[in-house]
Amino acid sequence: MIVIRSPDDPIAALATPAASSALAVIRVSGPGSLELLSPLVARRFDPAAARGHTIHRCVVKDGDEDVDDVLIAVYKSPKSYTGEDGAEIFCHGSLPVIQRLLSLLARSGFRAAGPGEFTQRAFLNGRMGLTQAEAVNEIVRAKTDRARGLALQRLGGAIEDRVQKARDALLDLRASLEVLIDYPDEQTDSGVDTEKLDNAERIVMELVHTYPQGRIYQEGVSVAIAGATNAGKSSLFNLLLRQDRAIVSEIHGTTRDWLEGTASIQGIPVRLFDTAGLRAATDALEIQGLKKTHEVIDSADAVLYLVDGTRGMDAADRKFLDGWQRPAPLLRVWNKSDLRGVLPAPEGFLTASAVTGTGIDDIQRALAEATLGGAPFGGAEPLVDSERQRDLLTSALASLKRLRASLSEGATPDLLAVDCAEAMDSLEEITGAVTNAEVLDRMFSRFCVGK
């Protein structure tokens, strides 16, 4: 479906989930939106005449009938989220109230807003840069506290600032190239300021390198817990989930299927899978479960392989561990370290007890490092989470590399200026100084409706 967006017609959308709750918020925006609200509220209050940033209690009316007793927050252009006149209606959060209000707004001349349309308008009206607009969606979708913090940092403009710095360095560089183009006679050996190029390249390179981690904090990873029956997989699963989800029992083969749960591990959203114990099964049900288990293990981003440390490794454990071919990290855990009969852990194993919790922090840290592909970046650095930004950073970097190569080959200033301009274009596209309507529509269509 092609959505044609006129940038300034009055729009309305529910900004909270369409489910019964204490309150719901309906948002409207666009020139004339306050005038459209005026006939819908009881006389004493006229939204069109109200001052911006004021809240009013009133009854919304559909003809003579009262619909709901609400609060309306009035915003006036340009001091609003979208930069337009608009309002937020705080109503009671029942579906009949929400549906009645939305249909009333539709009949009154509001168009139902598309996904991300409020934020798209905020960007088009200069209320925020493009990396901040993307961060709005990222903070809404954050699954862990760490992901929230990272998105908030981007919302505050951390990426925008860095990209701007790189772009400014290139602007200076380009200005000096222009001088060389215009006044070739004044050319000196130190005509091109390579320090500016170094600066820009360093900033862009650092940002590109944060992307894999940024992605993982936002999107998360899947982790399968594998091992022989009775190794303690279900116990570890419950411990990491901090809830009693899986049945724990000394009876071998208790977990016949696989279970899934979500946990935050060192701030990474993790989809955790408990699986059936790997053993030679005889009954049909267990064989089915084992087939599933292998599928889960084969598609996991990382695997925790548990061995009961009081029993030690058997041939099946060795076969699994030695036969591991996938690029996904495999962590070995020597479990039941709390028991007296525990054997010394072989090289490369983390020792832990899924009953007392000893060693669990080490498992979580090791898992985070393995999935992040290294130590987590420090808190001060913004992490890129947008594929769009990553692609543009990569192409800026390619232009800068070409520029550096041309420079060392002694290319003429006009050729150097072309690479410099290309790198600047990519950086300006990141912040939204240069935009493309199709890219914008695609980007905002991934937002929630009402945001």
* Locus of tokens 């903070």: 139
The reply on whether position 336 binds ligand GDP by CB under 6 A is: yes
Q: Could you tell me the maximum CA-CA distance found in the chain, to the nearest angstrom?
A: 88
Cβ proximity of 306 and 232 under 8 Å: yes
Binding mask 108-147 for ligand GDP (x = CB under 6 A): ----------------------------------------
Which residue's CB is nearer to Mg ion, number 34 or number 224?
224
How many angstroms separate the CA atoms of 10 and 18, rounded?
Answer: 21
**Binding of residue 235 to ligand GDP (CB under 6 A):** yes
Say which residues have a Cβ less than 8 Å from residue 4's Cβ, sequence separation at least 6: none
Given strand 111-112, what is the order of strands in its sheet? 54-62, 65-75, 86-93, 21-29, 11-14, 111-112
Give the pairing of strands 330-335 and 86-93: unpaired
Residues contacting Mg ion: total by CB under 5 A: 3
Nearest CA-CA partner of 7 in 101, 100, 148, 122? 122
In the chain the first and final C-alpha atoms are separated, in Å, by: 20
Question: Which DSSP helix (H) or strand (E) runs through 299?
Answer: helix 284-299
Nearer to Mg ion, 145 or 314 (CB): 314
The yes or no reply on residue 234 touching Mg ion (CB under 5 A) is: yes
d(Cα 74, Cα 54) in Å, to the nearest integer? Answer: 6
**Interface residue with ligand GDP, options 119, 132, 353, 431 (CB under 6 A):** 353
> Which tokens sit at 266?
């060192």
Tell me which of Mg ion, ligand GDP, none is bound by residue 339, counting a contact when its beta carbon lies within the kind-specific cut-off of 5 to 8 angstroms. ligand GDP
CA separation (Å) from 302 to 270, 350, 366?
10, 15, 11
Binding of residue 255 to Mg ion (CB under 5 A): yes
- Angle of helix 387-408 relative to helix 194-219, nearest 10 degrees, comes to 160
Closest to ligand GDP by CB, 301 vs 338, is: 338
Q: Does 199 bind Mg ion (CB under 5 A)?
A: no
Tell which one of 171, 316, 330, 355 touches ligand GDP (CB under 6 A): 355
Nearest partner of 128 among 83, 89, 167, 93, judged by Cα? 83
296 lies in the binding site for ligand GDP (CB under 6 A): no
Residue 435: which of ligand GDP, Mg ion, none does it interact with, CB under 5 to 8 A by kind?
A: none
**Partner touching 299 among ligand GDP, Mg ion, none, CB below 5 to 8 Å by kind:** none
Q: Where does this chain touch Mg ion (CB under 5 A) — which range of 227-235, 336-344, 349-357, 358-366?
A: 227-235
Q: Of 240, 263, 245, nearest to 255 (Cα)?
A: 245
Q: How many residues bind ligand GDP (CB under 6 A)?
A: 21
Q: Which of 214, 277, 359, 413 binds ligand GDP (CB under 6 A)?
A: 277
Do residues 239 and 261 touch, judged by C-beta distance below 8 A? no
Cα separation, 222 vs 220, in Å, equals 7
Question: Per CB under 6 A, does 229 bind ligand GDP?
Answer: yes
- HSE value, Cβ hemisphere, 13 Å, CA-based, for 193: 15
Partner in contact with 249, chosen from ligand GDP, Mg ion, none, beta carbon below 5 to 8 Å by kind: ligand GDP
The window from 107-115, 133-141, 172-180, 330-338 that contacts ligand GDP (CB under 6 A) reads 330-338
Choose among ligand GDP, Mg ion, none what residue 353 binds, the Cβ cut-off being 5 to 8 Å by kind. ligand GDP
Piece of the chain touching Mg ion by CB under 5 A; list 197-205, 229-237, 256-264, 335-343 = 229-237
Q: Going residue by residue from 237 to 276, which x/- string records binding to ligand GDP, judged by CB under 6 A?
A: -----------xxx---xx---------------------
- Positions touching Mg ion (CB under 5 A) are 233-234, 255
- Positions touching ligand GDP (CB under 6 A) are 227, 229-235, 248-250, 254-255, 277, 335-336, 338-339, 353-355
